[in-house]
Amino acid sequence: MPMKADSGRWRRVVDDTEVQAVAASLVDARLSSKALAAFPGEVPQDLETAYRCQDVAIGLWPDDVGGWKVGRIPPALEERFGSDRLAGPIFRETIHYSDSDARVDLPVYPGGFAAVEAEFVIVVGCDAPRSKLTWSREEAAGMMADLKIGIEMASSPLKTINDLGPAAIASDFGNNAGLIVGPSITDWRSRDLESMSCEAFIENSSVGKGGAFNLTGGPLRSLQFMLELAARRGRPLRTGDVVASGQTTGIHDILIGQTARISFGDDGEIRCRATEKSA
């Protein structure tokens, strides 16, 4: 069993056959809407292996990547995983644009995990150079064409996905199943993050309050992270890509048939309903 040094520890090096088997099982479960009783194989011990799995899974998925979701890694785990954030692809067919508060149906995996998250969504303004691997915050800011309100539907065929940690989440498309991109935030370039607040409701009951100020480093840090990660993986961000910068009110469990509403105050409101994803 090959081992590799990792920050003073040793971890098992997972070979391509194992990575491909895990990726194929995760994709099959998603395409067939079949719940998983457990992670299909050994849970990756590091993000390098997780992103290898994710890349294989992207290649197996019958749709193109239209953007990325960024999630926060708990501070207590940052040193272990060598990052403050993780990412997963958002496929074009699962991105819904809405300029009103009309309800959007978002399919979730029956028997699996499902939750809604209030998001601030970045729209990428130009192609990132393929060879540029490091980005300053100022350079990242220059890549932003717009900042919009949004809802991410987090869902996985594996109900316990979040309990298994960042590498398991990253392996399974970052636990993403869809994104609603709402209206643009007025004067987003000049506004303070404290002015960008939101509140989440499930079945008209408030389940969380927050805002862009809850994101460590703000949405811009998420874009900076995503520019660097995407470049290292040979998938530089492109014009029109969307980046869901991270949950801002919490991760709110939702059941099939329930509705969610995110109020962003004067910046608008988005509503969705969780529906059962069919094969």
Tens-digit pLDDT string for the chain (279 aa):
354 445 444 445 567 899 999 999 999 999 999 999 999 999 999 999 999 999 999 999 999 999 999 999 999 999 999 999 999 999 999 999 998 778 999 999 999 999 999 999 999 999 999 999 999 999 999 999 999 999 999 999 999 999 999 999 999 999 999 999 999 999 999 999 999 999 999 999 999 999 999 999 999 999 999 999 999 999 999 999 999 999 999 999 999 999 999 999 999 999 999 999 998
Residues 6+ apart with CB under 8 A from 187: none
**How far is Cα 223 from Cα 34, in angstroms, rounded to an integer?**
33
Structure tokens at 33: 């809407």
Q: Does residue 238 form part of some domain?
A: yes
Give per-residue burial for 103-114: e unless 16+ CB within 10 Å, then b.
ebebbbbbbbbb
User: Is 35 among the domain residues?
Assistant: no
Q: Which domain holds residue 217?
A: 64-276
Q: For 88-103, write each residue's pLDDT tens digit.
A: 999 999 999 998 778 9
Query: pTM of the entire structure?
Result: 0.94
Domain presence at residue 261 = yes
In a domain, 55, yes or no: no
How many residues can be counted in the chain?
Answer: 279
Does residue 34 form part of some domain?
Answer: no
Query: How many Cβ atoms from other residues are within 10 Å of residue 204's Cβ?
Result: 8
In DSSP terms, which residues pair with 68 in a beta bridge?
89, 243
Angle 173-178-181 from CA coordinates, rounded to 5° = 130
Query: What is the reported pLDDT for 7?
Result: 45
Would you say residue 126 lies in a domain? yes
Predicted pLDDT of residue 100: 77
Q: What is the pLDDT of residue 267?
A: 96
What CATH number corresponds to the domain at position 263? 3.90.850.10
Closest CA to 160 of 113, 115, 213: 113
Is the residue at 166 inside a domain?
A: yes
Position 201 in a domain: yes
> Residue holding tokens 């060598």?
82
For 243-279, the pLDDT digits (tens) are 999 999 999 999 999 999 999 999 999 999 999 999 8
Number of domains the chain is built from:
1
